[in-house]
Structure 1
């Protein structure tokens, strides 16, 4: 059954309405397919069936698989937890690292991220959507580094975004390349390494 006959562009609807419920159902279904089967098996008609939404609704609103993935990444960025405020740089960076670690080891989110990253290597629109997703998350956490600079914990001119990137990079390497354990200990080491480098002035402009 088609739940909505008219759809707004992704990201422009108010939460709580029928259109928002349609979007949520479709994005949930798309994420399920990505986690279960990967990008190559993502099909708009199949997503519509899983979501209980008419095919015309899905095709009219998203049009292509890459547009659907882009909207899924927008939603994931919006739904991500806000940054922690522990009062210390190492506390904040460990909170960030553990959030990344929990996300990447989640039974659904981990395979979903792998699928999207794999798709981004060969699809420019997915790659751009993925860059926007990470830009949003880095922007959310970068202030904890700037606050550390203002407290005198870090050298003036420290690049907050580079520090946050340095925290998550080793965790993604474990997910995608090395296969080494991706546990809390690995997350804490990544945070400690980034903090030590930042204290040493490695990320000062």
Structure 2
């Protein structure tokens, strides 16, 4: 018995985006095609092209949806808890099938192979931007120096996690997340992410 048609609307969008992540995880960026996504989803390729004019637009949308769902921006009322929660969510996502698929897209392929466009890479820059209020709220509460550069703090939080996964190939877990959060918070409270670059005692 064949599956019921997806029809149009949110169900189609959700199905296509989920298939996109699955295709990236199984076949990588270079072999990714809209035709394969349409066939696997069970819709005509014109249905996909009507919503997403090219593959990078589709991939960027799928990555954005995956990251937004799996790594929500916390608002616990405490910078300690916010950073720890954000780091743990990142670790949980980065070790999931969806997370591994997304990261596979970001890795540089062999010479001559297609590599992700700037719109695809923009997904991660956008996620940093969306996390900035986490820091500005902490500044307003007096938990961090007034001139703390929010983007630098968020980058310092996620960098050790990405390094272990992408560079050294180490396993990451809640302890990894908690350590990254503690180090980033300690540096922020010491004023290392402020505009003042003068030496501190």
Please give the range of the TM-score, normalised by the shorter of the 2 chains.
Answer: 0.7 to 0.9
User: SS of the residue aligned with 1:39?
Assistant: coil
Match of 2:33 in 1: 43
CA distance in 1, matches of 2:23, 2:49: 17
* Deviation at residue 2 of structure 1 after TM alignment: 7.6
Corresponding residue for 1:153? 143
Equivalents in 1 of 2:49, 2:98: separation in Å? 25
Partner of 2:198: none
CA contact 1:39–1:119 (8 Å) conserved in 2? no
**1:191 partnered with 2:181:** yes
**Distance in 1 between the 2:71 and 2:64 partners?**
14
Contact persistence 1:84–1:95 (CA under 8 A): yes
Count residues with an aligned counterpart. Answer: 189
> Which of 73, 95, 109 is equivalent to 2:98?
109
- Bigger mean CA deviation after superposition, 95-104 or 18-27: 18-27
Q: Report which of the two has the higher share of helix.
A: 1
Matching of residues 21-40 of structure 1 within 5 Å: 21-40=11-30
Deviations 1:155-174 (A, max 9, x none): 12001121111111111111
Structure 1 residue 176: deviation in Å? 0.8
What root-mean-square deviation, in Å, do the aligned CA atoms of Structure 1 and Structure 2 show?
2.4
1:70-127 residue CA offsets vs partner (Å, 9 max, x unmatched): 2212323553453222332221110110010001011x123212222126996463x3
Equivalence for 2:129: 139
Q: Could you tell me how far apart the structure 1 residues matched to 2:193 and 2:131 are?
A: 16
Three-state SS of the structure 1 residue aligned to 2:17 is helix
Taking a change above 3 Å as real, the CA distance of residues 146 and 59 of structure 1, as seen in their structure-2 partners, is closer
Q: Does 1:128 align with 2:124?
A: no
Which residue is 1:7 aligned to? none
Length-normalised TM-score, structure 2? 0.83
Listed as ranges, the matches of 1:50-61 within 5 Å are 50-61=40-51
TM-score normalized with structure 1 length: 0.81
* Aligned equivalents of 1:189, 1:203: Cα separation in 2: 18
5+ residue gaps, structure 2, are 196-201
Higher mean displacement: 67-76 or 80-89: 80-89
> Helix, strand or coil: the match of 1:201?
coil
